[in-house]
Amino acid sequence: MSYGYDDDSKRKKRYVIISISSVLLISMVVAVTVGVNLNKHDGKGDSESNGQITASVKAVKDICAPTDYKKTCEYSLIKNGNNTTDPMELVKTAFSVTMKQITDAAKKSQTIIDLQKDPRTRMALDQCKELMDYALGELSNSFEELGKLEFHKLDEVLINLRIWLSAAISHEETCLEGFQGTQGNAGETMKKALKTAIELTHNGLAIISEMSNFVGQIDIPGLNSCRLLAQEIPSWVDQRGRRLLQAASEYSDAKPDIVVAQDGSGQYATINDALKHVPKKKNTTFVVHIKAGIYKEYVQVNKSMTHLVFIGDGPEKTIISGSKNYKDGITTYRTATVAIVGDYFIAKNIGFVNTAGAIKHQAVAIRVQSDESIFFNCRFDGYQDTLYAHSHRQFYRDCTISGTIDFLFGDAAAVFQNCTLLVRKPLPNQACPITAHGRKDVRESTGFVFQGCTIAGEPDYLAVKETSKAYLGRPWKEYSRTIIMNTFIPDFIQPQGWQPWLGNFGLDTLFYSEVQNTGPGAALANRVTWPGIKTLSNEEILKFTPDQYIQGDVWVHGKGVPYTPGLLAANPNAATTIPSNSAAPGFSSFTDTSGAGSVSPAASPQGSIKMVSKSN
């Protein structure tokens, strides 16, 4: 996209300036994400007669050029920019104004909550307040990071900003979704209050994406060299933490910081009691060993609990269980048995369960908002909406996820490697779409990637598969993105592969691709041919491997978790996404298809399907 500069060197310099100036938008997004409405128009004054003001307007227009909501962008920057053309001065001014506006908006939000009598509405408002607080925190962190920006780390910063802005969009969407099924006009009020916030968030993402694209195209010495070596462990992991994370056993010989045990052999009998003693905002590993037992409690790892590690005695021995659900008047977001918000979280050898059952509709076993979070040898059991991979970067290895409808959903950038997706028996005549990714903006760097996984069915499901048909997924939001590669697909997955959400919604804009899968359900001949179904080139496939897609070499490697950064070993029996006369070598599946034995014979003809919508 041209910004109107003839000289290429000047254009490049301008791009760098704009990339720094983009923090202004991010800071302003923080202000409005708690309900500040900046769309109140003032008079234009004498701006056209003042050369300095004209120059500042020109600078603002340059910054706003790639955005979708240009009027909102330009008005917001001109109003708070004090007629300056200095990007850093704009940032400082915007940030100071932002803090005051957030404080005022938070007080107003609390007043709205206090006036509500409907319990579900109060819960939805409280949920909004929580989500906007998260947006404020992570965007404030991004401002601080840019304040100490080193040029050679520019690409790393832009990657992080895209992730964080994508998360902010998820927070806003989840806030509004919480009002489904509520009484009164609180939901509509919040929607109007957040209109500008949503527009500015998308604008900020547009600018960051433009900068990322440009940085990726230029060749400047010292740039794009910020990654850690693959064999390094992040600096925040101390020596004891390194030994724990690199241990190959189930950590029976490791000394954790806290032990939770129901039999009295630990310091605490419940997980929540233990969490009261977790250090806040420390950059060192803190390990909690949760001994065998069924822990019937609702657990939240707060934003301040970073670098926390949960180690269990096995996913069928250490189980955290709850039963909150949407049918009983709780928002989907709040039904989670376990919620992980603090960044850099790791869980190993633990089961997460929601026992509400299919009759209770949405019932989340775990909600994950933690950036750079890892789950190894864990099990997530539920029915509808089991695993809520809400936002940020996530990595799952050797895990099992079970459920009925959309049992793996959210807007995270998540990779599932060597995992099992287990379809369970739904209510009569309900379809069973496995995934429902929720990308709202095409620029979001989010999506689900399944690599070397196995899709299987429980015996109870296989008995009803003729009337409860299973699909790889459906588009929860317009730009839903899911890539399934090197995975075993059984014969009960419908030949169409994917299921529409409602009518033509998202079919032109989604991003679905199947790459070198195996099994009787992997054939592509009868797949849907929507415009959003993608055939990926070799180069494009590499972009969705863990190293490139979620920067896994930086934060997954060295954590004691099996991890393949790139493509998997070749398998000649894999299905192809391109014509047979131009097969793409080198992409394949794990030969282990454990769980496939539960797959029944050929899929049945189409029958009556009951659709279920999603509410948060």
- Residues with active-site annotation: 385, 406
Task: Provide CB contacts within 8 A for 206, sequence distance 6+.
Answer: 66, 67, 68, 443
Task: Provide CB contacts within 8 A for 186, sequence distance 6+.
Answer: 112, 116, 121, 124, 125, 179
DSSP code string of 334-387: GG-SEEE-SSS-EEES-EEEE-S-GGG-B--SEEE--TTEEEES-EEE-SBT-E
Tokens standing for 312?
């269990």
Please, is 191 exposed, middle or buried when counting C-beta atoms within 10 Å of its C-beta (0-12, 13-18, 19+)?
middle
Ranges assigned E (strand) in 277-344: 286-290, 293-295, 299-301, 308-312, 318-322, 338-340
Task: Provide CB contacts within 8 A for 47, sequence distance 6+.
Answer: 53, 54, 57, 78
Q: What's the per-residue H, E or C state across 439-498?
A: CCCCCCCCEEEEECCEEEECHHHHCCCCCCCEEEECCCCCCCEEEEECCECCCCECCCCE
Cβ atoms of 462 and 194 closer than 8 Å: no
Q: Give Cα separations from 393 to 80, 374, 456, 525 (angstroms).
A: 33, 9, 26, 33
- What is the rounded distance in angstroms from the CA atom of residue 478 to the CA atom of residue 511? 9
Q: What's the per-residue H, E or C state across 507-552?
A: CCCCEEEEECCECCCCCCCCCCCCCCECCCCHHHHHCCCHHHHHCH
CA-nearest of 482, 497, 492 to 520 is 492
Task: Provide CB contacts within 8 A for 184, sequence distance 6+.
Answer: 116, 118, 121
Cβ atoms of 534 and 497 closer than 8 Å: no
Q: Computed from CA positions of residues 459, 460, 464, 465, in that sequence, does the dihedral angle turn out positive or negative?
A: negative
CA-nearest of 405, 381, 382 to 610 is 405
Three-class DSSP category at 82: coil
